[in-house]
Structure 1
Amino acid sequence: MKTKFKQLPSLSMGLFLGLTTLSITAHADIADAEDSRSQAATVDTSAPIAALSKLTSLDDAKPLKVTVPKIQQFKTKAGVPVLFVPTTALPIVDIDLRFNAGSARDSSIKQDGFGIANMTATMLEQGSKRLDENEFTRAVETLGVNLSSSAYKDMFMVSLRSLSDDKHLLPASDLMTQMITEPSFDEQILARNKARLLVGLQQQKQDPNSLASIAFSQALYGEHPYAHPSVGTLETVPTIEKKQLVDFKNRYLVAANASVAMTGNLTLEQAKKLAESITAKLPTGQPAAELPEPKSLSTSKHIHIPFPSTQTTVLMGQLGSKRATNPKDQQQQTNFAVGNEVMAGGDFNARLMTEIRQNLGYTYGISGSMNPMLARGPYQIGFSTRNDKARAAIDASLDVINETLDTGITSDEMQLTTDNLKNSFPMGFASNAGINGLLGMMNFYQLPNSYLSDYVNRIDQVKLSEVNQTMRSTLQPDDFLIVTVGQDDPWKDKKTSN
């Protein structure tokens, strides 16, 4: 059984989706380094290397022309919207079936029933009414397909990757249909899952990042459905019952609440038949109710969680934005993505990384991201630092943010970022999985097909004054929620060493 601790879906093209992620990789090949040093001794370094001193090849670069995947759109007889992109390079098909049914719906099944959606997703993979757990697993492995289900805050997703020939795809799609419409929810397996998940939740207490994330969400969202962890808690997981899983499936895994994304080696006619076969047995049902909007904190709040460690984990931020569905708001989110990449992006050119890591040496990495969802998602900045430097690092980070908001980013910083965004844009649909992730996101949030085709245009429409204004109107660092997990409370003694 796969214990699911995922909180957010894995989405392609972080900045394109309004997200910024940090990834720092350091490695060295000793032999190559030794060889480089020996060569350097014989090279005349007084003369500049032309290729490195100036990227002359970019002087006459023409504007990037991008041909985005051609999206075909249709609905099944059950009314489920489908986005499809045919690709013939590989004999593979990717399918995402998404429901407006994440862990934010747990309490609608049972008051404080945290973990119901996650447990439902776990058990969809563990047998159907026709095949027990072992038989189902054997069928999946025999076909060599990837078949999984996951619950996040907003969405519930069932995914399939299979070879595109009928010998593999047809039985694979039948297994997918069994998962969704005929899960067994075996009582013994449920008991085993709960026991394993409780062990995982106990272990989570030893992870400062998990502790910070849970505390941040609870403090930021209060009574809102986003406040609780998707996997549930030590108190709620033992109370999950089979009936609640059945109720969740019957209420939310329905045609009126579904969307499909398909990418792969299929014709349009084949895609339509496949979509029909997957959705035909779904109950019609009703769309999920709109989630309430969370309320912003009225003032700054500091939370410290004692933890025996030489490092303090810091998570700071505020309520962010919801997923934009109209051109005006989409442009605003693009403006913010550009400004935030300059200020808090994960690369070494970002202002926070430059100051907090390189100049002050407080951390190995710091980054901030906006996570728009159906309701307002969080904006978060995170890093770890030595216990005795925690308050100084927090204050220095806030200084960088405030200075960025006060003086704005520069035109050179904006140009570098927009060039990067445009030039990296095609990477988002360089694979079937990348394309399907974009299709699934667009269909789930009911975005028009032009959302993808207009991306480069939105980047070109970015103006420096509007970027800076958007940053100022979005972020309120004086009211940030700040969570720290470490040995000492950074606010216990305001006198910190520098």
Structure 2
Amino acid sequence: MKAHVPPFLSVKPALLTTALLATFTMGAAFAQAATEMPSGEHASADVDITQPIKAIDKLESLKNEQKLSLSIPKFQHFTTSNGVPVIFVQTKQLPIVDVDLRFNAGSARDESIRKQGFGLASMVADLLTKGTRDLDETAFAEATEQLGIELSSAAYKDQFVVNLRSLSDAEHLDPALSLMSSIITQPRFDAQVLERSKAQQVLALKQMMQNPSYLASTTFSQTLYGSHPYAHSPYGTQQSIPALTRNDLQKFHDTYFVAQNATLSLTGDLSLSQAKQAAEAITQALPQGKPAPKLPNPTPIKQSKWVHVDYDSDQTSVMIGQQGYRIDPSAKGIQRGTDFSIGNEVLAGSGFSSRLMGKVRKELGYTYGIYGSMTPMQAPGPYTIRFSTRNEKADEAIAATLQTVNDTLKQGITAQEFKLTQESLINSYPMGFASNAGINGMLGVLNFNKLPDSYITDYINRVEGARIDQVNTALRDTLTPDKFIIVTVGKPDIAKKSQLQKLK
């Protein structure tokens, strides 16, 4: 039985190799996890994940690997009559259209409307899909249900996203587009619904404050960013949410939901002409307005610091990191990001072959998982390493993490690690094009951040063309362990002579 692959993807045996390897590795991982104790200690008979899988040698079809060939769908650019930039990709495999509308209006803009108005963007997102000028909450829900559409909104730190998924025939798509246009231009912001949503949000925040991972995340952001807009959580606080008013929501909407502050992406079963009509239907009622002002740079961190939050738990949640870099659409900036991602995958990737996973999890048995990632944003975003461990092992686990980072920066990654990571990133890349939603999500990021098409279309070439010396340089230029913020939440047993004690 031959698997169906969309025409714009031509996946060669190299991808199959990776998929099978991933399957076997997952099996080994589950087998390993089954032998572990809740404390995190592991049995002596662990599967050695550094060794080749002998069964692969039995698969004759994998011995003649060919280079991966990927045909990326055509990106078509146009601008609506009121100036909204649009990227469109035509796909005909399914009668579906995905729409991604973004505004430069995330939680970083909360205080531009109300001082200490944390959670404002999130509350706007919550109420946006709970009624329009002509439809109350119940009627709106019935309309979306009858059309069989998915219409959602979400606020992040940097951006506000409205998504629509609908069948592509005019009978369903036209009223769906009309409904989407209504929520972004004529939101109801019903006072009673707002009060209920605020009460629900406060209750959710009380529950979230019982989550050590959330406590670690909010403490880390506050310590890392200080007075910068990135310092606060998009969800707001138990104190800020009750103070928000309908006028605050309306002012936020009127300020940022404008054509000059929007980008639009479309993927699906439409012609270019139909896509242009759809884009007009969504955006034509948006006022021109003004683009949101550039966000300020955060104050740089000058030295490492340890911040502890006492929490009654057998485990300690740990976050370690620093201010990273901003989104850079230049060719040099894009290549630097690719180089860093290769190096970081070796150091702190999600696979069992990463150095942090090998040291802190497999060798020392201090945690089930440890991962590190960079989040570039409009202003320098955070680089974070996260894990949880037993209280009595927190000090040693943090020390092992920092030592592994420092050793990697000093010694660099090896040629073997470099080659394996290149192949892994290249072979997994086509999976991002496996669905309309995946494609449209890429387009949304591309359009919002004003990145060139080559950011997506030349990714494999950038990875293939990367050099190990450039990758190691990107790691050393980016990561600064002497300025790491270290956050612990729990009851960790920190020795009096621990290096952490000097960072209080």
What CA distance in whole angstroms lies between the structure 1 residues aligned with 2:198 and 2:139? 22
* TM-score, normalised with respect to structure 2: 0.88
If asked which structure has higher relative contact order (CA below 8 Å, sep 6+), I would say 1
Q: How far apart in 1 are the matches of 2:250 and 2:495? A: 47
1:417 matches 2:421: yes
1:438-477 equivalent positions in 2, closer than 5 A = 438-477=442-481
Q: Which residue of 1 aligns with 2:309?
A: 305
Q: Which residue of structure 1 aligns with residue 8 of structure 2?
A: none
Whether 2:103 is the aligned partner of 1:99: answer: yes
Alignment of 1:221-240 (within 5 A): 221-240=225-244
Alignment of structure 1 residues 369-448 onto 2, 5 Å: 369-448=373-452
The match for 1:146 among 135, 138, 150 is 150
Which residue pairs with 1:295 in the alignment? Answer: 299
1:252 is matched with which residue? 256
Equivalent residue of 1:131, what SS?
coil
The aligned residue for residue 39 of structure 1 is none
Aligned counterparts of 1:440 and 1:49: Cα–Cα separation in 2: 39
Q: Structure 1 residues 274 and 27 mapped into 2: Cα distance closer, same or farther (>3 Å)?
A: farther
Q: What does residue 129 of structure 1 align with?
A: 133
Counterpart CA distance in 2 for 1:237 and 1:199 is: 11
Displacement of 1:54 after TM fit? 7.8
**Equivalent residues in 2 for 1:259-338 (5 A)?**
259-338=263-342
Decide whether the 8 Å contact of 2:95 with 2:269 is kept in 1. yes
Counterpart contact for 2:314–2:391, Cα < 8 Å:
yes
Match of 2:361 in 1: 357
Aligned AA (2:222): Q
Structure 2 residue 347 is the aligned partner of structure 1 residue 347: no
Task: Give SS of 2:294's match.
Answer: coil
Summarize the Cα distance change of 1:495–1:415 in structure 2 as closer, same or farther, 3 Å threshold: closer
The amino acid of 1:235's aligned partner reads: Q
CA distance in 2, matches of 1:285, 1:25: 53
- The answer to whether the Cα contact below 8 Å between 2:84 and 2:283 also exists between their aligned partners in 1 is yes
Q: Distance in 2 between matches of 1:163 and 1:61?
A: 39
1:2-151 to 2 correspondences below 5 Å: 26=30, 51-53=55-57, 60-151=64-155
TM-score for both structures, normalised by structure 1? 0.89
Are 1:304 and 1:489, in contact at CA under 8 Å, matched by a contact in 2? no
Counterparts of 1:447 and 1:110, CA distance in 2? 31
Q: Which runs of 5+ in 1 are unaligned?
A: 1-21, 31-47
CA distance in 1, matches of 2:83, 2:485: 42
Compare 445-454 and 59-68 and name the one that shifted more. 59-68
Match of 2:41 in 1: none
Q: Residue 283 of structure 2 aligns to which amino acid in structure 1?
A: T
* CA deviation after TM superposition for structure 1 residue 130, in Å: 0.3
- SS state of the match for residue 65, structure 2? coil
Q: Partners of 1:27 and 1:236 in 2: how far apart? A: 47
Q: Is the 8 A contact 1:296 1:318 kept in 2?
A: no
Q: Secondary structure at the match of 1:127?
A: coil
1:63 shift after superposition: 2.3
Match for 2:223 among 206, 219, 222? Answer: 219
How many angstroms does 1:62 deviate by? 2.8
CA shift, 1:69, in A, is 1.2
Structure 2 unaligned spans of 5+: 1-25, 35-51
Per-residue CA deviation, residues 212-241 of structure 1 (Å, 9 max, x unaligned), is 000000000001000000011111111100
Match of 1:172 in 2: 176
2:185 alignment partner, one of 181, 184, 209: 181
Distance in 2 between residues matched to 1:120 and 1:334, nearest whole Å: 35
- Find the residue that maps to 1:382 and give its secondary structure: strand
What is the one-letter code of the residue matched to 1:385?
T
User: Alpha carbons of 1:165 and 1:493: their partners in 2 closer, same or farther (altered >3 Å)?
Assistant: same
- Residue pair 2:393, 2:493 contacting (<8 A) in 1 also: no
Q: Distance in 2 between matches of 1:414 and 1:355?
A: 18
Q: 1:200 aligns to what? A: 204
User: What RMSD over aligned residues (CA atoms) do the two structures have, in Å?
Assistant: 2.1
Partners of 2:184 and 2:287 lie apart in 1 by: 10
Cα gap change, 1:272/1:313 in structure 2, threshold over 3 Å: closer, same or farther? same
Give the drift of 1:82: 0.4
**Which residue of structure 1 aligns with residue 15 of structure 2?**
none
- Cα pair distance change 1:492/1:123, threshold 3 Å: farther
2 CA distance for matches of 1:81 and 1:334? Answer: 26
Q: 1:460 to 1:361 in 2, by over 3 A?
A: same
CA displacement at 1:56 relative to structure 2? 6.6
Amino acid at match of 1:97: L
Give the whole-Å Cα distance in 2 for the aligned partners of 1:492 and 1:211: 25
The number of residues matched between the two structures is 457
Secondary structure, counterpart of 2:432 in structure 1: helix
Distance 1:116 1:369 in 2: 27
Q: Deviations over 1:425-481 (max 9, x none)?
A: 111111100000000000000111122111111112210111111111110112210
Change (3 A) 1:483 1:145: same
Q: CA deviation at 1:55?
A: 7.2
